[in-house]
Amino acid sequence: MNGERRKLLITRALSDRVLAYARENFETTVWSKDQPIGAGFDAAACGQDAVLIMPTEALDAARLTQLRKDGVRAVATFSVGYDHIDVVAASRLGLPVFHTPDVLSDAVADLAMFLILAATRGTTESERILRAGEWGPWSPTAMLGRQLGGLRLGVYGMGRIGQALARRARAFDLAIHYHNRSRLAPSLEQGAHFHAEIDTLMQVSDVLCICAPATAQTRASINAHRLSLLPSGAAVVNVARGDLIDEEALIAALKEGRIGSVGLDVFQNEPHVDRRFLGFANATLLPHIGSATQDAREQMGLLALNGLTTYLVHGKLASNCVNP
């Protein structure tokens, strides 16, 4: 590569450290409004060598084709998931796609553990009672939850986040069960019970935590049938992607009392949440904040930029390229 400075579009303002790193290596344009770039993306991307997008920007085959015609040579996403990008089309067009694995695993696993505790102890409803001034005299049967020790945690998707969650869950004396595309090595499994089929995982999950990536195979995989396999009163937690769960089936299971509680950080039509969820006292709902720590978000930006810099400045593919 020659010494010419490459041009980069970043579709949302990031931390000062991340932007400083970007400007050291690229002639950088930043979409400064704190909202998705929307219809302004195509014009802003024209003539850029690379784009660093947010999960709010969808790059289908048509848009990727246009980006390539407009001079874009690489794409990075500020996320570990890349289901908003047609990676097959990007590969066909010769566009490497970079994402941000590893650096957000601890942040998401921390939040998953919080949601497990909130769902099993009923903390959302307890806090509502306190804030509403409804806290009455002490009662031995009021606001009772479930103790985690001895319960069975089913982890659907034992990748980096799932493994980080399992490490935390062991400290709470949860028995770890998991389903994954392939079984982990014993050194990573650390005594966890592998289930080759999702259905058998569901049958033993007092708490189910969804950590799997969104793919054609996993979308709506937690459906009415599989929810019916859970033990009565089970808690369901999702820190992966909203479309892994059939929300209609989940709402029905909550209404019928077949599920004890839910802890959801992700939804099918974000940022629009099915308002029926708001009516459940046993639902802890968060606005997709799994990676929302200062440390994680900064490392995500630096990792995405490192992929672009390694490729466009040094002519090599970094390990966070999803289509090498």
- 258 assigned to active site: no
- 288 assigned to active site: yes
For the CA atoms of 131, 133, 138, 139, the dihedral, rounded to the nearest 10 degrees, stands at -80
- 241 assigned to active site: yes
Catalytic residue among 63, 92, 288, 298: 288
Catalytic residue among 121, 241, 247, 297: 241
Q: What 8-state DSSP symbol labels residue 276?
A: G
Q: What is the DSSP string of 57-118?
A: --B-HHHHHHHHHTT--EEEESSS--TTB-HHHHHHTT--EE---STTHHHHHHHHHHHHHH
* Cα distance between residue 184 and residue 260, in whole Å: 30
Q: At what angle do helices 105-121 and 294-312 cross, to 10 degrees?
A: 150
* Cα distance between residue 213 and residue 244, in whole Å: 8
Q: Under a CB-based contact definition with an 8 Å cutoff, are residues 169 and 194 in contact? A: no
Catalytic residue among 270, 272, 276, 314: 270
Catalytic residues: 241, 270, 288
